Chains A and B, each alone.
Chain A
Amino acid sequence: MNFEEHAAKPLLAKYGIAVPESRLASNPQEAEAAAATIGPCVVKAQVPTGKRGKAGGIKLAATPQEARQHAENILGMDISGWTVGKVLIEAQTPIARELYVAILDDRGTKGPMLLFSGLGGMDVEEAAESDPNAMRRIAIPIDQGLSEDAARSAIEGIDDIAKHATALVDVFMNLYRAWRELDAELIEINPLVITKDGRVVALDCKFTLDDSSAARQKDIAANAAPEKQTVLEAKAADAGLKYIELDGSVGVLANGAGLTMTTMDVIAHYGGSASNFLEIGGEAYTKAKTALSILLENPNIKALLVNFCGAFARTDVMAEGVINAWQDLKPDIPIFFTIHGTGAEDAVALVRDRLGIEPYDLMDDAVKAAVAAATGRAAA
């Protein structure tokens, strides 16, 4: 779960990391009023994605009128597919030096990792790519936490920030506490700045809550940015199903993430394209009916391919759900089955008896038939 800046920064403040004064505005009038109390400010688009500055979503304003003008331009702007609905009006900070710091889940060490760079700002990722030394990486043992020595080693040898070492180490320690206590997957400050009067201030914050921890971080999770999803995707999410809408014509109903991705790949291999990703594996395998009705609401769907390869998921339970739903909904498209694994004999018999359809023994044959039906031409 991602958080917009205005929701992430108060988390930093709660953990003792300084952030500039700011107010949220959802229209130009509010932006002007906020700027009137704050003074010279920055008008910042609130969307849960990076590259806001490059997209023109961050502007300096000297006066309330100017803040209003910028808000008018920025509100409604599209940034990486997100429509800007709110701007943050934030006090300007006199910057002497821009830094980068983050703590994230590291796949390699299977633990938290502190990242630090003396090159903060908009292009830190590019800078780190061209100069690997630009990004310091400190692995943190989660059973011991971040030690002061380890935190200090992140800035060792960077002479021009040495006199701010104590304040920076404080920020790192506090940031780790926030990461740990808030079940963060990522908490990033870019830029972390040293001001002209020598303070250390977080000018931005990116916070990602671990999805699997949302149930024990309910208060925090409530402030997450909405997912970018279609009406059908939202409906599926409400039903506890992972559904991704695509623009092809072959509907996919499969169990398990790996098999579902593979089914999409095989459809493409034979010259078709999938109208969705939808998996009903894991605990979701009893939700076949809900899944099917969501699939059929996608206007692009011209044929449905049911591909079950049951391990944990029982194919007989899934098949019965699909058949019941199919007979209820009576959709006007052809359906193709291929079923193997746990419960497959019963599942194949059910499809045969109740729908009068013979499931394909080979997945490739089922895919070819579905592609031909959906596209009106023989599979490639």
Chain B
Amino acid sequence: MIPRKNDRLLIQGITGKQGTFWTEAMIAYGSNVVGGVNPKKAGTEHLGVPVFATAREAAKAQPFDISCMFIPPMMAKDAAIDACEAGAKLLVCLTEHIPSHDVMEMHVAARQNGTRIVGPNTAGLVTVDECFVGIMPAFNKKVFKKGKVGVISRSGSLGTLLCLNLAQAGMGQSVFYGIGGDPMIGTTTADALRLLDGDAGTEAIVICGEIGGSAEEEAADYARTMTKPVVAFIAGRQSPPGKKMGHAGAIVSGGSGDYNSKRKALEAAGVGVADVPSQVPQMLKRLSIAA
């Protein structure tokens, strides 16, 4: 799902330093934050919203649609399962370095409860001028302005750069969909592409991919069926093989996940692949005219 203005937002870990900083930013942006979670501060209020012991408790008193987690890695699994069992439709998991077995358990809980997980290790989602969930510079007018381009990114920093490049070229964004830099993420590049393909406010899509895994190849299979123009930039062309490039998911090993196979698959599906991010706006314009 794409976050909308009226979606009710729960913040797990709302009282912490980062939770507070970013929740304030989300509220200022206009996101509909209705509550928070911290077991030690249940019954109090923080940033003008009630704090609950668990997401399940919150759901009883203050129903919510989306939960956003500011929770350290070793505690993330329990918090995520709590949010799924509480009936979250969407769970935005910002946490990086969650033990991989815990991540697998989170995905099982999500499937069983009908929750869509975004992440782990995502920078969040921005539906421009409507709703912001996460840790993106949504409020920075040089980076984000309302437009028709949807942006999908495994990386928050690269996603920010791409949004900046679009804004600098006078093109705004409809939605930024941060999917996360982890190897096992709940919403893949192809999933996000499908969502934005179905979004009436999105006319063209930019994929910010990375080396590692096969998410871009799978996205290419879907892109082949689309009429909306798609342009991609894949980070990591110059990265040495066999090394984890910061993100746990960004590694080329045993001939899989390398730059060339991703580029080939995307180009074969009619997706324009930019050599550098600054080429993306021009390529979008050309493809849009052609379409």
Interfacial chain A residues near B154, Cβ < 8 Å: 258
Residues of A81-108 whose CB lies within 8 A of B: 105, 107-108
Report yes or no: A111 in contact with B104, Cβ–Cβ below 8 A: yes
Report yes or no: A105 in contact with B183, Cβ–Cβ below 8 A: yes
Report yes or no: B97 in contact with A309, Cβ–Cβ below 8 A: no
Interface of A is mostly: mixed
Report B264-283 CB contacts with A as 1/0, cut-off 8 Å.
Answer: 00000000000111100000
Q: How far is the CA of A310 from the CA of B245 in the complex (A)?
A: 18
Q: How far is the CA of A273 from the CA of B244 in the complex (A)?
A: 19
Residue of B nearest to A274 (CB): B238
Report yes or no: B101 in contact with A340, Cβ–Cβ below 8 A: no
Set A105, A142, A341: member contacting B160, Cβ < 8 A: A341
Residue of A nearest to B124 (CB): A311
Set B18, B137, B236, B239: member contacting A310, Cβ < 8 A: B137
Report A263-302 CB contacts with B as 1/0, cut-off 8 Å.
Answer: 0111111000110010101100000000000000000000
Interface of B is mostly: loop
Set B104, B136, B236, B246: member contacting A242, Cβ < 8 A: B246
Residues of B13-46 whose CB lies within 8 A of A: 18
Residue of B nearest to A185 (CB): B100
Report yes or no: B246 in contact with A260, Cβ–Cβ below 8 A: yes
Report yes or no: A105 in contact with B210, Cβ–Cβ below 8 A: no
Interface centre among A183, A265, A277 (most CB of B within 10 A): A265
For the complex, is A327 an interface residue (Cβ under 8 Å from B)? no
For the complex, is B247 an interface residue (Cβ under 8 Å from A)? yes
Using C-beta atoms within 8 Å of the partner chain, give the interface range for chain A: 35 or more
For the complex, is B285 an interface residue (Cβ under 8 Å from A)? no
Report B223-243 CB contacts with A as 1/0, cut-off 8 Å.
Answer: 000000000010111111001
9 extra interface residue pairs, beta carbon distance < 8 Å, beyond A254-B157, A264-B239: A210-B100, A212-B100, A256-B155, A259-B157, A262-B158, A265-B276, A311-B135, A341-B160, A364-B276
> Which chain A residues have a beta carbon within 8 Å of chain B's beta carbons?
105, 107-108, 110-112, 125, 141-143, 180, 183, 185, 210-213, 215-216, 242, 244, 246, 254-262, 264-269, 273-274, 277, 279, 281-282, 309-313, 340-342, 344, 361-364
